[in-house]
Structure 1
Amino acid sequence: MTGTDEPPVTPARVRSIPALPKAHLHLHFTGSMRHSTLLELAERDGIHLPTSLTDEWPPELSTMDEKGWFRFQRLYDVARSVLRTEDDVRRLVLEAALDDAADGSVWTEIQVDPSGYGARFGGITAFTDLVIDAVREASERAGIGMGLVVAANRTRHPLDARTLARLAAQYAGRGVIGFGLSNDERRGDTASFAHAFSIAERAGLALVPHGGELRGPEHITQCLDHLHPSRLGHGVRAAESEAVLGRIADTGVALEVCPTSNVSLGVYATFEEVPVRQLVAAGIDVALGADDPLLFGSRLAGQYNVLRAAQDMSDAELAELARMSVRRSYAPSDLVSDAVAGIDAWLASPPPDAP
């Protein structure tokens, strides 16, 4: 070795992220599609895809202005358009379940807005029936538990949200476990969706709207005031207000944090900035989610891996995130107990090649 040679780098001894049991609580229906499936279905039906979904995938995205969100939504709509048959829907759900199982998920909650598919699949009720059956079948084949969240679109009229809330309520305990509110949180009046969430709340559904990613702490406060969430999709910008952090912790609302989404959409410039440790230190339960793997190019295990790499999170910290994801899920109690035991066993086991 010369005086300028660097000593060889010894690979860190770390436990396998896919071997860590975890729950996936923030996954969108179309956004869960495999990229290879998108390409195959588009070729089958002669659907032209933009280069950002082919040669330049995953696309370069930023939604911090209206034009950026429009581009993101356009890509999402193009992806939705390749789903033409019942078999396509079943394939998407099965592949999402298999991918999550491979990443260590023991329970996945997938959310869908039936109004985006009803026209092609015989109406929102018929489509919901199809997805519930696809989820049941995929759960059995992939060997993981699954639940369905019906999500309204905040860019549509609040009356549409009430219709979807009633639909979700009809299926409470029969496949549907929650009710959400998604799309660009800078649009629509959050308070106007309160009635829809009241319908879902009376039916005993989990209330899981989006908030606190594209808008700051003041919008999180609106969500807490009017929608009474049990979990909040994203919520990372609570870190900008000690008062809002305290309120989230005091009310016991969990946050579904999606690091690759945050960075891909321009909320944060780097993974180092995603405030997971700050949220946890404030006493808030955090569950990592992939959001839209099709557009962000990273699935569930990737969220844990980027925090390990970018924030030097220890295996103990990652295990605690997994525990919180499982405990804040709407999985059956026996599945939760088994998963927590599996997490403890993962952490108790020695890292690979450890003496």
Structure 2
Amino acid sequence: MEMPRPLRDLPKAHLHLHFTGSMRHSTLVELADGYGLHLPDALKEDWPPRLRATDERGWFRFQRLYDIARSVLRRPGDLYRLMRETAEDEASEGSGWLEIQVDPSGYAQRFGGLTATMELMLDAVDRAAEHAGIGIAVVVAANRTRHPLDARTLARLAVQYMDRGVVGFGLSNDERRGRAREFDRAFRIARGAGLLAVPHGGELLGPASVAECVEELGADRLGHGVRAAESPRLMELLAERRITCEVCPMSNVGLGVAERPGDVPLRRLFEAGVPIALGADDPLLFGSRLLDQYELARGTHGFGDAEVAELARQSIRGSAAPETVRKELLRGVDDWLASGVPPEPAS
């Protein structure tokens, strides 16, 4: 009997990973100890934290833990270390292309302003990509809990650095606290320059939030988008327009969007023809990286090797990777699927 192929060897693209949230837990603890910073039990002894963000109090706790984690990144060397380790983790899990989301405004006060912070982050990305031998690009993400004018500033900053590896413009944080349409001018700036529009939507709110991201912001991809599964018509629209949903199963469970891993509508979206790119979102807070999402698709949702190969293809096709990189990764997926796995030796 043929054994399943190793998912670690499957070439894939990772399109939904946040900068701070990509940090290794061991690095968080080490940096905090080095700076004499106290970490709450949820980020130390009781890690990963028990989270549920479907109510306002739960989201506040999630955001507070995220802000505490960000506070350990105090020197340029910390950013370089985070990015280098993230790239190493990606390469070890078969990710050949990463698009990492950054909101430079969260670090600007510490690192000399928006422009200086952006320069620092992009240099860290370039060095990490070369070190790990993978492709890495950047999505600049605005915070929907801040004023839309701030988003326009970030959109212009993202456009300014398109020649340095910025490929998209996003919108993150609690979608209940900022309607997508309020940020349409920022997205017009980004789209007009040729950046991908990749807002979060359809996580804590339902299909109407997804539709607003698509119709008002011109989304090319959706951060999460799982709530689209509640509307057959919306799934049909996403499939028809080839709008990729960056589905992060363990994040959905961690934040209470789905009660159990099996409740994430991965199979429903897949069978409706909606393109999917599995993502880890914030491994630092959810305790799982990209490979775990593929393991879940196989073990919990019953995806066979041909289906997980198609998930990997969809992640690559939905990426902003150069055509040469896409072709190489897609060829690798075909090779992975064509390779036979030796049967277990007889006992």
Choose the corresponding residue for 1:41, options 15, 31, 39. Answer: 31
* Counterpart amino acid of residue 138 in structure 2: L
SS of equivalent residue, structure 1 residue 209: strand
Q: Tell me what 2:304 maps to.
A: 314
* Separation in 2, partners of 1:328, 1:143: 21
**Kept in 2: contact 1:14–1:352 (CA 8 A):** no
Please list the CA deviations of residues 134-192 of structure 1 after superposition, one character each: whole Å capped at 9, or x if unmatched.
Answer: 11110000000000010000000000000000000101132111100000011112211
**Kept in 2: contact 1:271–1:307 (CA 8 A):** no
Choose the corresponding residue for 1:269, options 259, 273, 290. Answer: 259
* Separation in 1, partners of 2:56, 2:80: 33
**Kept in 2: contact 1:15–1:352 (CA 8 A):** no
1:256 aligns with 2:246: yes
SS of equivalent residue, structure 1 residue 181: strand
Choose the corresponding residue for 2:171, options 173, 177, 181. Answer: 181
1:340 aligns with 2:333: no
SS of equivalent residue, structure 2 residue 210: helix
Choose the corresponding residue for 1:93, options 71, 74, 83. Answer: 83
* Counterpart amino acid of residue 165 in structure 1: A
Please list the CA deviations of residues 249-292 of structure 1 after superposition, one character each: whole Å capped at 9, or x if unmatched.
Answer: 22221100000001111111111111112112222110000000
* Counterpart amino acid of residue 279 in structure 1: L
* Separation in 1, partners of 2:124, 2:11: 23
* Separation in 2, partners of 1:265, 1:298: 13
**Kept in 1: contact 2:267–2:301 (CA 8 A):** no
Please list the CA deviations of residues 183-222 of structure 1 after superposition, one character each: whole Å capped at 9, or x if unmatched.
Answer: 0011112211000000001111011000001000011111
SS of equivalent residue, structure 1 residue 151: strand
Q: Tell me what 2:115 maps to.
A: 125
Matches within 5 A, 1:143-292: 143-292=133-282
* Separation in 2, partners of 1:158, 1:235: 22
* Counterpart amino acid of residue 186 in structure 1: R
* Separation in 2, partners of 1:58, 1:159: 35
Gaps of 5+ in 2: none
Question: Greater shift after overlay, 241-250 or 209-218?
Answer: 241-250
Question: Greater shift after overlay, 62-71 or 279-288?
Answer: 279-288
Change (3 A) 1:290 1:352: farther
Return the index of the structure with the highest Cα Rg. Answer: 1
Normalising by structure 2, what TM-score? 0.98
Please list the CA deviations of residues 221-266 of structure 1 after superposition, one character each: whole Å capped at 9, or x if unmatched.
Answer: 1111111010000000100011111121222211000000011111
Matches within 5 A, 1:12-91: 13-91=3-81
Q: Tell me what 2:319 maps to.
A: 329
* Separation in 1, partners of 2:178, 2:324: 40
* Counterpart amino acid of residue 238 in structure 1: A
Count of aligned pairs: 345
Change (3 A) 1:139 1:189: same
* Deviating 4+ runs (over 3 angstroms): none
Question: Greater shift after overlay, 244-253 or 123-132?
Answer: 244-253
Query: % of aligned pairs identical?
Result: 60
* Counterpart amino acid of residue 136 in structure 1: D
* Counterpart amino acid of residue 148 in structure 2: P
Normalising by structure 1, what TM-score? 0.95
* Separation in 1, partners of 2:182, 2:157: 18
Please report how far the alpha carbon of residue 352 of structure 1 lies from its aligned counterpart in structure 2 after TM superposition. 4.0
**Kept in 1: contact 2:266–2:301 (CA 8 A):** no
Please report how far the alpha carbon of residue 302 of structure 1 lies from its aligned counterpart in structure 2 after TM superposition. 0.5
